[in-house]
Amino acid sequence: MQGKVVIVTGASRGIGKQVAIELGRRGATVVVAARTVEARKTLPGTIGETVAEIEAGGGTALAVQADMGVEDELLRLVATTLDTFGRIDVLVNNAAATSGRAWGAPLLQLSRADWQQQYDVNLNAPFTLTKAVAPIMAAQGGGRVVNVTTGHHGGDDYEPAPGIPVPLAYPSSKAALDKFCNLVSGELKRIGISIVNVNPGFVRTEMVDLMEQSGVDTSASISITIPTRVLCHLATCDNPMQYTGRVIQAEEMIEELRS
């Protein structure tokens, strides 16, 4: 990854943070994007802390505060990256709206604003960023887009985890993101860009730690190293086009990589 520039959204904590640190360790210049500049009372992690960890490992990184629900801030993120480093090779769309009133609200209690906020972060942000970086990547001879999605799109027996309300807007927006990946892959392939979605599974993150403290059964959660390794593989592998347009299950791919 020497000489490569990567944007990772939602990189102040969780999967995004671990992917940013690992790609920095592999030599990439990493642009760490998220809203969190000051640590929250309950959730740890800031973009500055992620940058500090990358730099402590000998890597190069830049923190850019950006709200994924605001188009101007997304375009500023891309412009800042290009102005600072002169290229963009990989975009990891990891940020997602996973809390707030919209998470577990049923249809009759879900406001249009809450519904739209989920779509702005989970679908419209990847669309906006992908569209913005595509001409840049094409001019360089190619690039990669990796989106973090979910494998749960509802159903009568759907339960994200014991004790967690069943969401409506979140999986709906992620299902749309999967279809976006499928549909746009051909167009992007023609200009040398691969795009792939990864379902990380129920991952042990800082958020899951908080859920456990509140009494939620998190025994089925998996190590964060599983999606981190898969996402980094897709960002660095020799032939990314073999995956383009697909929705990949992290636990299934990790078994392939191990074999």
Every domain of the chain and the residues it spans: 5-258
Q: How far apart are CA 1 and CA 13, in angstroms?
A: 22
Closest among 68, 10, 12 to 44, alpha carbons compared:
12
For residue range 238-251, what is the model confidence (pLDDT) as tens digits? 999 999 999 999 99
Round the average pLDDT of the chain to a whole number and report it: 89
- Average pLDDT score over residue span 122-131: 98
170 assigned to active site: yes
Closest among 79, 58, 227, 35 to 48, alpha carbons compared:
35
Q: How far apart are CA 113 and CA 170, in angstroms?
A: 13
Percent of the chain at pLDDT above 90?
Answer: 69
CATH architecture of 5-258: 3-Layer(aba) Sandwich (3.40)
- Average pLDDT score over residue span 116-145: 97
Closest among 256, 181, 215, 231 to 30, alpha carbons compared:
231
